[in-house]
Amino acid sequence: MTDTAVDPAAIAADAVALAELDGGTGRERVRIDWLLRRLHDAPGRRRVDDAGNLVWTFGPPPYRLAVLVHVDDVFGEATARGVTERDGWLSGPGIGDNAIAVATAVAVAERGLIEHSPAGPTLPLVVVFTIGEEGLGGLRGARHACGELAPEAVLALEGHGIDRVFTDAVGSLRVQLTVTGPGGHSWWDRGRPSAVHELVRLLHEIIASASAERPVNVGMIDGGTGVNAIAARASVMPAKAPVSRASNFSVDNSSSNSVESGTISEMGRSGSTACRLRRISAAMLAGDPRALTSIVPAESAPCSREK
């Protein structure tokens, strides 16, 4: 039997090197450049596409399989980068999601697939190191790759789930909910509606409507101008992530409907609050790559009428 084993130490070294580079969503280019240098002598051809993905091909299209591995992580530019090892575990920002998956894809493609492939150096395979996965990226790189390359099937590698295979699609609908009001002084203008108070009531309804199958995560919230001021503006960015099979997944207005059913406009003695719901991104990743090219674009819509 041909030995196709990869070197775990080499994978770990590549993962550490990648994780220690700044690579938050929107700042992936330094990691793409690192991969270009790392793969300089590797088989196949590499190019950076219009989205900023690194596309690694081993033959002409059509492609039977596209392996997608995102290079960005969730950490900000000010994050102190560094990976430590303790008791056989690597620990540090971005090492699990998704540096270890990137390093594994490099090792397997270099040795396990290419050097020992019965088909030789030409394979109907493309490996894409994608951008725009985390944060507000909305799978931008993955959608572009699937639309441009049109593979028959897609396999996405995630470092935290590399020992499991999922066949269900994981969809995410990310929206920004903004409430505005007249503002004012907390004492002299007492009785005016507060944008923060109204937003809290809305969030209570949204969170209460969540379920295990359709969870809601409120990840970012801001608003107000001071402790003695009635808030004139408040905003939140909850991400609603339903889990569904690819054939049944659709982007709908369920979030805005749930908001509309609540009390989202409050009359005060000197004005009212108004609410706007803006879809930031909606995306899914599944076995059928066509699903990634039919996502409803971001849009903005009122979630109540200002009275």
> How far apart are alpha carbons 232 and 55 in whole angstroms?
47
Domain boundaries, the chain: 8-161, 169-302
The top-level CATH class assigned to 8-161 is alpha beta
CATH topology assigned to domain 169-302: Alpha-Beta Plaits (3.30.70)
Helix (H, G, I), strand (E, B) or coil at 250: coil
- The pLDDT assigned to 248 comes to 33
Instruction: List 173's β-bridge partners, or say none.
Output: 240, 282
> How far apart are alpha carbons 144 and 51 in whole angstroms?
7
**Maximum alpha-carbon separation in the chain:** 83
Q: What is the mean pLDDT of each run of 10 residues along the chain (307 residues)?
A: 72 97 96 97 94 95 95 95 93 95 93 60 89 86 94 91 70 82 92 92 89 85 93 86 42 36 35 75 52 38 41
Give the orientation angle of helix 29-38 with respect to helix 8-19, to 10 degrees: 150
Helix (H) or strand (E) holding 195: helix 195-208
- The pLDDT assigned to 273 comes to 77
- For 2, list phi and psi in degrees, rounded to 5: -75, 135
- The pLDDT assigned to 268 comes to 37
How would you label 209-239 residue by residue, b for 16+ Cβ within 10 Å and e otherwise? beeeebebeeeeeebbeeeeebbbbbbbbbb
- The pLDDT assigned to 121 comes to 62
